[in-house]
Structure 1
């Protein structure tokens, strides 16, 4: 068995320090906790995304995201499988069968994860999905469509469970863009970040402007 690249189940790592694939972009302070699946994020979690190709769909992850062990991002569209054709078989990409075959590949666009998103262990994110800031993806959820900001989703396919805050509070948080503040300002307001008091937190950081 291959050695575990993670020291223990309590240890993750900052993603930016371990990304070599040019088609993956990750913001500051986002981390991966991969102990139970033993391998590095870009080796295990990002599927079908070649670091050698230009112009392919990208995986873009914002700041302060938490990604659980074994979460997977399915990339690069449909891989040539077309369910609207007579056969779903990818003849175009198959040696000895590709003569006169049409290329069925269809791009899905970039997969985008916002800021302060929590993705549970073994959740699956399908191609071209956008997950809004502050969203929570439940363990083993299969996300097939966009997720609104500060929304908790779960199940297969993933459906909304509830909003994390009121619409007014969500709007305040989105307008604040606290994740873009200088880290020293963020540190000063960690006590309120670790509370449910949205209005006081937003009022506090506004005083820093």
Structure 2
């Protein structure tokens, strides 16, 4: 045994509040890495997609989530379909109410478009977090509960608040650089299993260099 089956929706059959969301039915423009889980104690974690809002296939924006992420309940991914045209006197979306108002339906290129929302690997997102369109969150970042993410988050940063601001970096710059080279989330399952103790408890540069040399 070298760990849970990454292809099972519920890797631990005794815990039905946590599932590997990469094993949910596929949805256009959503990509989720192996071992990334969603935890929801109020609703079924299988309802994860309900937390992706204003995501319309014709706009083409993607939600991309890396491997080994931990995502808590209350997450909201706001996608580009939520945006209103902002270059006129008013931002009111007359067109969606029809009855003649559809004559001012904006072209896609006239709407604000922030691009894809990309969550790195090994990212921990706390409860009730809102992530705005086009945000990029780096590997190893931690997002504090009840935060609203309006700007990109650097790798291995801890951020929190509304709007979220940097609280601190998890490690020194040299350590972060080494961890980004290590990319442990891309290891084979056997290597991860053999190094579990180091992965959860080691934070010294020497050991990271040794792992890089293996």
User: Normalization by structure 2: what TM-score?
Assistant: 0.84
Distance 1:179 1:39, change over 3 A: closer
Distance 1:164 1:123, change over 3 A: same
1:36–1:70 CA contact under 8 A, matched in 2: no
Residue of structure 1 aligned with 2:41, choices 13, 35, 39? 35
Question: 1:106 maps to which residue?
Answer: 112
Task: Deviation per CA, 1:1-27: give whole Å up to 9, x if none.
Answer: xxxxxx988730001111421211001
1:179 maps onto 2:185 in alignment: yes
- Give the Cα separation in 2 of the matches to 1:201 and 1:38: 40
Distance 1:9 1:29, change over 3 A: closer
- Give the Cα separation in 2 of the matches to 1:134 and 1:174: 9
Residue of structure 2 aligned with 1:61, choices 54, 61, 65? 65
- Give the Cα separation in 2 of the matches to 1:48 and 1:91: 17
Q: What's the RMSD between the two structures over aligned residues?
A: 2.3
Structure with greater proportional helix content: 2
> Which residues of structure 1 form unaligned runs of 5+?
1-6
- Give the Cα separation in 2 of the matches to 1:101 and 1:17: 37
> Which residues of structure 2 form unaligned runs of 5+?
1-12
- Give the Cα separation in 1 of the matches to 2:19 and 2:58: 27
1:153–1:161 CA contact under 8 A, matched in 2: yes
Q: CA deviation at 1:84?
A: 4.1
3-state DSSP of counterpart to 2:80: coil
User: Normalization by structure 1: what TM-score?
Assistant: 0.86
Question: 1:91 maps to which residue?
Answer: 94
Task: Deviation per CA, 1:144-200: give whole Å up to 9, x if none.
Answer: 010000000000000000000111110110011111111111111110111142424
